Structure 1
Amino acid sequence: MSQTWSGGCQCGAIRYRFTRKPSGAHICHCRMCQKAFGAFYAPLVGGPAETFELTRGAVSIFRSSDQAERGFCASCGTPLTFAYTDGDWMSVSIGSLDDPAAFPPVDQHGVESRLSWANGLGQLPDRESTESEAPDTAAFIKSTNHQHPDHDTASWPE
């Protein structure tokens, strides 16, 4: 079988894959992406639409403008896709990929809406996760985790 690049939503209701390695990883600072992701920017990567396929579930669509559609999971809310309605390119949220580290952004789009302090985020002090700060809380979260694993499963929940 040929190599694929897969991903999906947090709850596992939706899974997808690319049959060709996605490219053009970037972050978008436009206000629509900020709102769609509930974040400072949207990290995206994509490929030709014919190389993208859903392997489980159906993406819910919000048409954020007359030219763009944003896909998300209706069950858990994970932002998943972005596509122009008349285009042949499908972008996905980098964080929804099973291996997001493989897709470092190479440029930034929509910089006219970039928050004035966004470029300084890398200079903030680092803090360990709750595992070292609150081990009991971290252990409880881990034992009650409902998040889909970062790989395809035959069914979910297992």
Structure 2
Amino acid sequence: MKKPSGDDWLVPISQTELPFFNRVRAPRRQRCHPTASVRFARHMWRRLATYHRRGTQFAFERRSLNDEAGKMLTGGCLCGKVRYEVTGAPFHSTICHCVDCRRCAAAPLVAWFSVKRSEFRVVQGTIARFASSKPVLRTFCADCGTPLTYQHDDFPDEIDVTTCSLDAPDAVPPDDHTWASQRLPWLPISDGLPQYPHGRDKAAV
């Protein structure tokens, strides 16, 4: 982030930012020591550099535990023999209602997210592979059967990962529903997310 300069930095602190300043006050023994005060001022400048201006509003940019772009995601199968890591930022997080995914998981729907192929790696165990159709390769644990990934020949640089095989599935919430035209009639959708009758190549409803 570009460091603020000039008058852009001389702005009042909003009420929402006051708790942050109250938490980072200098220790009592340093408050009257000139050298320590300089060190603390430099420390505050580094902390304040994480602020940026958005019109008249300010936001404190900090990395949280649920920051998908900055935190490694981990997951694995039910029996624990297969473990994997995802180092990149997830995208195309979806709930798929297609018949193939339902049958593969024996579930009414399957949640997926995509990452770059190079950002997914198995760190423990060996995954089994199954070509569910000519262009599609699915993987699963050979011992417990947990579905793990999906790859399509049309997208060689991407891999889809089952969201619920993550250790923390809530870190990657879905953005939409795909193949909603094949949704089971006794499974209503009421979450307000966009619904694509097929893939994302057609407009959502």
TM-score, normalising length from structure 2? 0.56
Deviation (angstroms), 1:121: 8.1
Could you tell me which runs of 5 or more consecutive residues in structure 1 were left unpaired when the two chains were aligned: 123-158
1:100 aligns with 2:169: yes
Identical amino acids, percent of aligned pairs: 36
Q: Match for residue 61 of structure 1?
A: 129
Give, in whole Å, the separation in 2 of the partners of 1:97 and 1:33: 17
The residue that corresponds to 1:146 in the other structure is none
Distance (Å, rounded) in 2 between the aligned partners of 1:111 and 1:68: 20
- Match of residue 12 from structure 1: 80
> For the structure 1 residues 31 and 52, does the alpha-carbon distance in structure 2 shift closer, same or farther, using more than 3 Å as the test?
same
1:32 aligns with 2:32: no
- CA distance in 2 between counterparts of 1:6 and 1:21 reads 13
Higher-Rg structure is 2
1:2-151 matches, cutoff 5 A? 3-86=71-154, 87-119=156-188
Q: Deviations over 1:62-104 (max 9, x none)?
A: 1011111111001011111111135211111111001100111
Q: Secondary structure at the match of 2:144?
A: coil
How far, CA to CA, are the matches of 2:190 and 2:140 in structure 1?
A: 26
Q: How far apart in 2 are the matches of 1:71 and 1:114? A: 23
Runs of 4 or more above 2 Å deviation? none
Listed as ranges, the gaps of 5+ residues in structure 2 are 1-69, 192-205
Deviation at 1:51, TM superposition (A): 0.6
Please name the residue that 2:38 is paired with.
none
Residue correspondences, number: 121
Q: Is 1:5–1:21's contact at 8 Å kept on the other side of the alignment?
A: no
